[in-house]
Amino acid sequence: MNNPQSVSRRQFIGGTLAATGTGALLGALSIRAEDQADEAAKANPKDLKRKIKLGVVGLGGRGHWIAGMFRGHGGYEIHAVADYFPEVGDKQGAALGVDASRRFSGLSGYKKVLESGVEAIVIIDVCCFYPEQARAAVNAGVHVYIAKPVAIDVPGALSIGESGKLATQKKQVFFVDYQIPTDPINLEVAQRVWDGGLGRICAINTYGAGNTRAIMNDPPKGPKLESRLQQLLWVNDLPLGGETIINFDIHAIDAALWLTKLRPISAFGYAETYRPKPQSDSHDLWFITYECPNGVRWSHQSVLIPNLLPEGLSCQLSGVEEASAQITYFGKSFLLGGDKHYSGGQVKNLYPAGAQRNVNTFYELITKSQCTNETVQRAVDGTLTAILGREAATRRTKMTMDELIKENRKLELDTKDLRV
pLDDT grade, residue 389 (50/70/90)? Answer: very high
Instruction: Express each pLDDT in 213-267 by its tens digit.
Output: 545 567 888 888 998 998 888 988 999 999 989 999 999 999 999 999 999 999 9
Residue 321 and residue 337 in contact, taking contact as beta carbons nearer than 8 Å:
yes
Between 3.30.70.20, 3.40.1550.10, 3.40.50.720, 3.40.190.10, what CATH number should domain 9-176 receive?
3.40.50.720
How many CA atoms lie less than 13 Å away from 12 in the CB half-sphere?
A: 23
Instruction: Express each pLDDT in 287-325 by its tens digit.
Output: 999 999 989 999 999 988 776 667 789 999 999 878 999
In Å, how far are 206, 287, 353, 364 from 367, measured between CA atoms? 36, 44, 21, 5
The residue ranges of every structural domain in the chain are: 9-176, 180-351+365-407
Instruction: Express each pLDDT in 22-46 by its tens digit.
Output: 333 423 333 333 344 444 444 455 5
- Count of CB atoms within 10 A of residue 318's CB? 17
Instruction: Express each pLDDT in 68-81 by its tens digit.
Output: 999 999 999 999 99
What percent of the chain is modeled with pLDDT above 90?
Answer: 75
Strands 143-146 and 120-123: parallel
Exposed/middle/buried for 369, CB within 10 Å: 0-12, 13-18, 19+? exposed
Q: Which CATH architecture has domain 180-351+365-407?
A: 2-Layer Sandwich (3.30)
